[in-house]
A and B are shown apart, each in its own frame.
Chain A
Amino acid sequence: MGLFARFTNPLWYEISKLDGEKKFLYAILLTTYPVCRHTVNDSFVKPFESWLKGDGSRFLTPDFPGLTDLQREQLIDEALVALLRCSKDVRNSSEGRIRITDSQVQMLPDILGILALNDAKSRGQRGLPDVLEQTPYSTEPDDARTQLLLKWMGLLRVSDPDFVRLATLRCFGEWRSTASSLLGGFLLAISRNSDDFLFSSAQREAARLPAHQVTLLRGLVRQA
């Protein structure tokens, strides 16, 4: 990696200087985080949005204009925080092909949670903690899903609690399975590719990260 990268992609420049295991961990984080967001969007937020436009519209005020980009991102932030909080027992099923320790694997949800919370804060959400453990979400998937929908009710100014029941039935059928398999599945997928592929993906994602995430991650890298 050339000197030029120190200025164009300073985060990856610093990560690339770390020893193998840590570099591997940060590369996983950088590649996994955007995929987690996409998954949450595709599996929950998009179905939810289309339900809101149909049957679910009765819960909204008549003048509700539809989800804004900011609201959509806020829904993803919250859902990701809730999902990570209840993603327990992440297993490294790569049979040694991913060179990070089991304890690092177990920490993945927490580290990804820091990134998700940081994103949420950058979108004006106040009073958020820095780490998943301090969020109100339960580690039980069903509890966390209900808490998430209550939070979404607040974001969308919905007052009828039946919203939670119906949104659960219509849009959250895959919540439990996603919570139990999301990160393990990613690790397996990563293990099926070469290290070079992982690092080049991570480098690309590092260059795309917004400033607040770069600042946060550089702080973490320096502590590493």
Chain B
Amino acid sequence: MPRQAGRLDPESTAVGSIISVGGFSNEKFAVGKISRGGMGIVYQLVPVRPISRAMALKTYIDAADTAKFEREARLWISLGTHPNIAHAHWYGKWCDRPAIIADWYPLTLSEANARQWTTDRLLQLALQIVEGLEFAFKQAGLIHQDIKPSNLLVDEFGAPRIADFGVALLARPLSREIQRNSDKHRMMRDTVSSGSVAGTPIYMAPELFSAARPSVQTDIFSLGVTLYEMLTAEHPYFDFAKGGFSSVLRSDPLGAVLSERGPHIQPLIALTRNALELAPERRPRSYRELLRSAGLRPLDEQVQARGAEDIVAQVVLHRNQGRFDEAIRLLDSALESEPRDPLLLNARGCLLIVMKNTDRAIEALLLATSVLESHRGQYKGRLYPDPPANLSRQLLLRHEFQQAERVLARCWEWIGADGSFLPTHYPEFGWWFLYNGRFRQCCEHLQQTYRFKTPEPESLRWMTLAAALGKELDVWAPEIAQYYVQVAIDIGSALCMALIADNVPAESRKSMLQRVNEETDTVALLQAKSELRLSSCEFQAPLPAYARSVILRSLDYSVTGGKYDGIIR
């Protein structure tokens, strides 16, 4: 098996080979899965250093036709980061072959067994695919031309990601802004001149077979076939049992879905039917029209429901009075007409957290995060990181650290992209800095956060750990001590006080220890006392070193998911 980058031949690269992709990064990767398709080979890249997620390296088989591959790569990368489009990072050459690196997503829609999903989730899936397609069209004038289940990936949060822009076509001149970029200008010339029909026949709109030009309408038809297949596991016009095409939509399977799932699925069935109109003149001409035809509101109109803030205020009132059922009924009713309002979704998520229904809370917060991400311009400085912060907090509590990290990393990208806004109210970003080794920034961020809200033990532990790992414990000790005095005394705070006892003025130390000693009925505190012999050592004993080791040992997994395991031990 070849092991060294540079000596590799893409054809003979096997699972387990160690490679690197010069130009992309200096990291080494082990090759996981290998999928060979008609157009190229896709290698799953598993990083050797466990610091980043898996990637996909796609190479193009026909080296002679590199222009086509280059076009795909450029178009794909030009779409940037959208929550419903697979994220491509880099384009270049690997082993003298054109190659593109994108995020790796665990499943395709055809593998995801979507028929087992809830009706809500199916509806959201369809809306998210439409959103991705509309974005690609609006942003870069792209017609995908090959929408099918195997080109729709499902990310770790269950959201669809449109991939494989290999046969995509530019339908209109690019915006002035994009035209200014010479690379993209070249891209436009290439694609317009290549305007041939391509795709997977069974998903293609009928007019494409009579030389019609690909359009949004032809993508809508392919989406209809995909959704039909997802709902019924059959083809809308081709009967595999009888082996022939029908000129009439096979509506029985859809009827069965409707009777099985009830009227809530009706908008999705209507959307699917309308997308599958054989005559192009009867098919919706835009994604907006497609949604409206199914009784769904266009996405940008849905994003902020009128009166959502009033509804949320009422929900908070109900919640505070313990009327959770009333609150959730109010939200559900509002979300029925505005299923993608991030304010409502966020409120629903928060309410479900209080009701201890974390799974459904995460589902709502995920969707709110996704909507915010794709419509972030409308929320600049307002509501902004609420859903992702709430979501990441829930993920952290479930010890799903890598998921939390991804949510916050993505959110940080939007914030960075939008300029000056800093999420100072959100301790989750402190954890994120800690997780990424930005220790000082973690301490500074949490210090700022505590100006607005009372510190909580969890985030105080993050701050303590960041200060310790950043070797700045001495600098931060007085602040940490003050914060700990503000929160409930627990084992962590006792340990922390012991840890910093030498760094705090004698008077403060005395009052803090006094406070610790008053809490005699706390089991955790008694345990802390016995472990650390707080009462006997007073202020001079060599506690800090011992406490340091205890606190770091006790904190590592709960705080970082083991990321700094090696350093701590």
Contact = CB atoms under 8 A, between A and B. Distances in A.
B195 to A, nearest CB: 38
A168 interface: yes
19 contacts: A140-B18, A142-B28, A142-B48, A142-B49, A143-B28, A143-B48, A146-B30, A146-B47, A147-B18, A147-B30, A160-B106, A161-B44, A161-B46, A162-B54, A165-B46, A165-B53, A166-B50, A169-B562, A169-B563
B50 A168 contact: yes
Contacts of A160: 106
Nearest to B51: A165
Nearest to B14: A136
Interface string B32-55: 100000000000101111101110
Contacts, number: 69
Contacts of B52: 165
A165 B50 contact: yes
Contacts of B1: 136
B399 A146 contact: no
Given A142-B48, A146-B46, A150-B16, A166 B30 contact: no
Classify the secondary structure of B's interface with A.
Answer: loop
B16 A169 contact: no
B422 interface: no
Interface of A: 55, 136, 138, 140, 142-143, 145-147, 150-151, 153, 159-162, 164-166, 168-170, 173
B309 interface: no
Contacts of A140: 18
B553 interface: no
Interface in B449-490: none
Contacts of A145: 48
A150 B44 CA distance: 11
Interface in B81-106: 104, 106
For the complex of A and B, 9 pairs with smallest distance between CB atoms: A161-B54, A168-B50, A146-B30, A165-B50, A136-B1, A169-B562, A143-B18, A136-B16, A146-B48
Nearest to A159: B106
B243 interface: no
Contacts of A142: 28, 48-49
Contact of A55 (B15, B53, B399, B569): B399
A103 B147 CA distance: 61
B3 A138 contact: yes
Interface residues of B, number: 30
Given A143-B30, A162-B402, A173 B566 contact: yes
B47 A165 contact: yes
A174 B54 CA distance: 23
A150 B17 CA distance: 10
A78 B563 CA distance: 25
A153 B31 CA distance: 13
A55 B401 CA distance: 11
B561 A164 contact: no
Given A169-B562, A170-B565, 16 more contacts: A136-B16, A142-B49, A146-B30, A146-B47, A146-B48, A147-B30, A150-B30, A150-B32, A150-B46, A164-B30, A164-B54, A165-B47, A166-B402, A169-B561, A173-B566, A173-B569
A15 to B, nearest CB: 35
Contacts of A165: 46-47, 50, 52-54, 402
Contacts of A143: 3, 18, 28, 30, 48
Contacts of A162: 53-54, 156, 402
Contacts of B402: 162, 165-166
Nearest to B104: A161
Nearest to A144: B18
Nearest to B568: A173
Contact of B16 (A151, A161, A168, A170): A151
Contacts of A150: 15-16, 30, 32, 46
Contacts of A168: 50
Nearest to B15: A150
Nearest to A141: B48
A206 B50 CA distance: 40
Contacts of A151: 16
B403 to A, nearest CB: 9
